[in-house]
Chain A
Amino acid sequence: MSATNFDEKARREFARIGTTRVRRGELLRHPVYTRFLHWSVAIFFILSLLTGFAIYSPWLFHWITPFFGGGPRTRFLHPWFGLVFEVFFFFQFLNWMAPMAWTEADRRWMKRVRQYATNEEGPESEDVGFFNGGQKMYFWAIVVCGILFLITGIIMWFDNVFGRWLVAVSYVIHDIAALVMLAGFIIHVYEGTAHQPGTFRSMIDGTVTEEWADTHHPAWYRTATDSREEAQKAQK
């Protein structure tokens, strides 16, 4: 069974278990499986982040450790949280590999990132699809950081196997990857909630309004409504 087949089967199975109610004037954005993966990744990312902070700077974050049963227990749990994060993110990678493919439109989006950030351009450019360039950047940054986390994390986990210098280098790479992820995470949460009203519900209910889709992802909006019209025509 190929990776895409597995992903499509998982989507169908999850859509059977859960439901996404699409009301009039709304579009389905994230199906149940995608939402499940996103929040599983999010929970274990936050657990890894909190336990990681407590190890990164205990003098500043030692107040976190009691929630996880003290310093040594926090240190014990951190790699396990990280491993579960990696597993869920692997499935999310399969789930989003196709729509996250970098295109010419994303290159143009990156040139407009200043206007995007300062809200100068109003509605998104005509050619922005299901994900914009910034979302794709964040996704591929997590892919790269996820690989770095896994490699350096295993070296630090089994430090007696890999030797002193490899471990010392791994700490630095692990920390840098974490800081990149933290920066992305702050922007991601902000864009998904306070900055763009109407976005958060796409990950909770799975739907967005047509106005939202037309404003933020116009090319996807057209594709989604095209296929809906085709289906309606076929019904008639």
Chain B
Amino acid sequence: MANPRTFQIQEISAHPGPVPGRGTRREEQVCKYIDVTTCIGCKACEVACVEWNDHPFRETTFNDTYQTMPTTEWNYYNLIKFAEDEHDGNLRWLLRKDQCMHCEDPGCLRACPADGAIIKYENGIVDFQQENCIGCGYCISGCPFDIPKFKADTRKVYKCTLCSDRVGQGLEPACVKSCPTGCLKFGTKSDMVQIAGLRAKQLREVSGFADAGVYNPESIGGTHVIYVLHDIKRPERYGLPANPIIPPSYTYWKWIAKPTGLILGLLGIGAVFFHRVFYGPKLPDPQVPEVRTGPRDEVEAGRKEKP
């Protein structure tokens, strides 16, 4: 894909006035907007995701809910979660489309030790490159949203790509394309944040949801999938962590302690080599004393089997 700026004209010979398009910049950051308040749980996005990614239909596990299956799977990136919630003495569903959040600071990428197995594009999409994956599963524990899924037979990990193949060609993700209610939108990050803010304001002021707000957690630098929630104060009710964090072992340990350990190991090998050069071998004393006075090894003397 050519960079759109490659063919941006800088100067024009004998041209009166400014160069058309000069100085304008296209925002590269993309974002998916999910308004959970207008989701009807039709699962069209689930079908569109399976179709676009050419995944086979898989058997599901029934867990006494209306959900298709308990969690997303290696070949089922997109799942509507049907959280059952009590509201004014009645049951209500909190419908949330669950998929990769495409974090600005991705825990999976921080945790991954394999060169090139996880990449993040300039536009914010976090994508797995299965040919470089070694199947260690570190990304699974690095992710605050329980998204990467291990496939046992290929021993690789898979997750939602935010349809990076479609986005690269100027199309919206398959789930957004299929949504009949318009609760899914796709565009630049700033546009989506603005629309989400307006919708949350409308919910607060017009629809009577006093705590409505936008879920775009700052603890991981924001996400490239944002939610409008009825109740931003309690995201746990939708199955979202209030304060998603990456384990420090993947930030500090990986980049400071791991290389330090390796350097110490190399120094150790060098140290024993030069120890031999500096101090020489410890050779047996050729003089075996005739009279052997001195302490005995009491433990050895007491053992039935010698030595």
Contact = CB atoms under 8 A, between A and B. Distances in A.
Interface stretch (A36-44, A121-129, A139-147): A121-129
Contacts, number: 188
Contacts of B134: 54-55, 58, 65, 71-72, 74-75
Nearest to B260: A179
Q: Please report whether the interface of chain A is mostly helix, strand, loop or mixed according to DSSP.
A: helix
B272 A190 contact: yes
B141 A172 contact: no
B257 interface: yes
A168 B247 contact: yes
B155 A76 contact: yes
A209 interface: yes
A197 interface: yes
Contacts of A8: 304-305
Contact of B253 (A175, A183, A211): A175
Contacts of B307: 27-31, 130, 220, 224
Given A56-B113, A76-B155, A175-B261, A186 B294 contact: no
Contacts of B253: 171-172, 175
A220 B283 contact: no
Interface string A145-185: 00000000000100110001101110110010001001100
A197 B283 contact: yes
A226 B296 contact: yes
Interface string B134-147: 11111011110010
A224 B262 contact: no
Contacts of A227: 301, 306
A58 B261 CA distance: 15
Chain A interface bracket (under 10, 10 to 19, 20 to 34, 35 or more): 35 or more
Interface string A192-207: 0011111000000000
B23 interface: no
Given A76-B135, A190-B275, A196-B281, A214 B289 contact: yes
Contacts of B262: 57, 60
Contacts of A127: 294-295
B258 interface: yes
B58 interface: no
Interface size grouping (class) on chain B: 35 or more
B281 to A, nearest CB: 5
A46 B268 CA distance: 17
Nearest to B247: A168
Contact of B301 (A122, A196, A223): A223
Contacts of A72: 133-135, 154-156
B279 to A, nearest CB: 5
Given A55-B134, A224-B306, A126 B268 contact: no
B87 interface: no
Interface in B76-101: none
B250 interface: yes
Contacts of A101: 299
A183 B132 CA distance: 30
Given A71-B134, A76-B135, A103-B299, A214 B142 contact: no
28 contacts: A11-B305, A27-B307, A55-B134, A57-B113, A57-B258, A62-B115, A65-B134, A71-B132, A72-B155, A76-B155, A98-B299, A122-B285, A123-B285, A160-B140, A168-B141, A169-B247, A179-B264, A186-B268, A197-B284, A210-B288, A211-B286, A211-B288, A215-B285, A219-B295, A220-B300, A223-B296, A224-B307, A227-B306
Q: Which 6 A-B pairs have the closest CB atoms?
A: A71-B134, A129-B297, A168-B247, A72-B155, A190-B272, A211-B284
Given A105-B295, A190-B272, 8 more contacts: A159-B141, A164-B140, A165-B247, A182-B268, A214-B289, A219-B296, A220-B297, A224-B300
